[in-house]
Amino acid sequence: MAAEPFVDFYEILQVSPNADSDTIYRVYRILAQRFHPDNHESGDAELFRQLTEAFETLGQPTTRAAYDVKHRDGRRVTWKIFDQAASAQGIEAEKRKRFGVLSVLYRKRVGQPDQASMTLKELEDLLGVPKEHLEFTIWYLKEGHFIQRADNGRVTITLRGVELTEELSERDRLEKLQSERKALPPARVA
């Protein structure tokens, strides 16, 4: 039996994993009202169901504590782009690391605009890439003005980095579509 895919309840509720229970409750109430199926303008039954499930899990201290353990592991697996440190070498691996770093920082900027920076340790944990293998990546992205590094060592994505991430994401999506089309059997002409 296949394991269920990891669902980030914090991301669904658009709150930080450090948010207190009052914040989670307030955000849930706002989002639930907006996406309730009875709201004719912005109702979304599936999103409402996800929001409610997220709130039921994060709203109770015991279920939240159990979820937080899965959350740490789930985030690590979601962003892990290499199976072993040895496979993190070469030009293609470097390109994947750059896109991985940019993608993580992009999602962080969108999800938590007031706390958009991350430490190198957080990137290392999320991507599953040792710090030594990220140093060149960080240098390249910094020199290209795709990220910036603060005095405290935290990194954040720049406007130029956001544009590159969106461009690379679209290119990746198109390449996947093309490869899926090539895998389809040829259409028969009647």
Residue 142: what pLDDT? 94
Average pLDDT on 7-27 reads 83
| CA 24 from centroid of its chain's CA atoms | 19
For residue 32, give the 3-state DSSP assignment. Answer: helix
List Cβ<8 Å contacts ≥24 apart for 83-87. 83/128, 85/129, 85/130, 85/133
Q: How much is the pLDDT for 160?
A: 96
The pLDDT value recorded for residue 85 is 46
pLDDT at 6 over 80: no
Bridge partners for 157 per DSSP: 147
Stated pTM of the model: 0.55
Give the pLDDT score at 7. Answer: 76
Sign of the alpha-carbon dihedral angle for 147, 73, 114, 47? positive
User: pLDDT band at 186, cuts 50/70/90?
Assistant: low
Strands 155-157 and 147-149: antiparallel
Distance CA 12, CA 34 (A): 14
Mean pLDDT for the stretch of residues 48-67: 90
- The proportion of the chain whose per-residue pLDDT surpasses 70, expressed as a percent, equals 84
Alpha helices in 59-119, H assignment, sequence order? 61-79, 91-111
What average pLDDT does range 49-76 have in this prediction?
A: 84
Which range in 14-18, 46-50, 88-92, 169-173 is most confidently predicted, on average pLDDT? 46-50
CA of residue 29 relative to chain centroid, distance = 24
pLDDT in tens, 123-162: 887 777 788 888 899 999 999 999 999 888 899 999 999 9
Residue 94, pLDDT score: 85
Q: How sure is the predictor about 76, in pLDDT bands with cuts at 50, 70 and 90?
A: low
Distance CA 21, CA 58 (A): 8
Mean pLDDT over 8-19 rounds to 80
3-state secondary structure of 129: coil
Domains in the chain, start-ordered, CATH in brackets? 10-79 (1.10.287.110), 81-181 (1.10.10.10)
Which has more pLDDT, 7 or 9? 9
Mean pLDDT of the chain: 81
Instruction: Give the rounded percent of residues in the chain with a pLDDT score beyond 90.
Output: 19
Contacts 24+ apart (CB under 8 A), 89-93: 89/133
